[in-house]
Amino acid sequence: MEMLDASSDPRAHEWIVRLGLSLDTVRDVLLFGDAEAATYTTYDANGAGEMARWSRHVRRMSELLVPQGWKRIDPLNQPTLVHPSGEHSIVVTSGTSLTGTAYGVPKTKNPKGRSIREAVRGNAELALMRPDEVDPDLSGLRETWILLTHADPNGRLQAELSLPSEMEGEQIGGWLRRILLPTISPSRIPEPKGDDGPASYEFSVARK
Q: Count Cβ atoms within 10 A of the Cβ of residue 134 and give its class: 0-12 exposed, 13-18 middle, 19 or more buried.
A: middle
Distance from C-alpha of 158 to C-alpha of 152, rounded to nearest angstrom: 8
pTM of this prediction? 0.79
Task: Using alpha carbons, select from 150, 125, 134 the residue that is nearest to residue 54.
Answer: 150
Partnered with residue 208 across adjacent β-strands are none
The confidence score (pLDDT) of residue 76 equals 76
Across the range 125-138, mean pLDDT stands at 48
Q: How far is CA 3 from CA 41, 175, 181, in A?
A: 36, 9, 11
Domain boundaries, the chain: 2-203
The CA R_g of the chain, rounded to the nearest whole Å, is 17
Residue 78 CB neighbours (<10 A): 17
Residue 66 CB neighbours (<10 A): 12
What would the pLDDT profile of 41-99 be if each residue is shown by its tens digit? 999 999 999 999 999 999 999 999 999 999 999 887 889 999 999 889 999 999 999 99
Q: How far is CA 12 from CA 35, 116, 151, in A?
A: 27, 24, 22
The confidence score (pLDDT) of residue 75 equals 82
Contacts of 66 (CB under 8 A, 6+ apart): 72, 81
Q: Which of 23-27, 37-41, 84-88, 118-122 has the lowest mean pLDDT?
A: 118-122
Which is higher by pLDDT, 110 or 66? Answer: 66
What would the pLDDT profile of 144-190 be if each residue is shown by its tens digit? 899 999 999 999 999 999 998 876 767 787 899 999 999 998 765 44
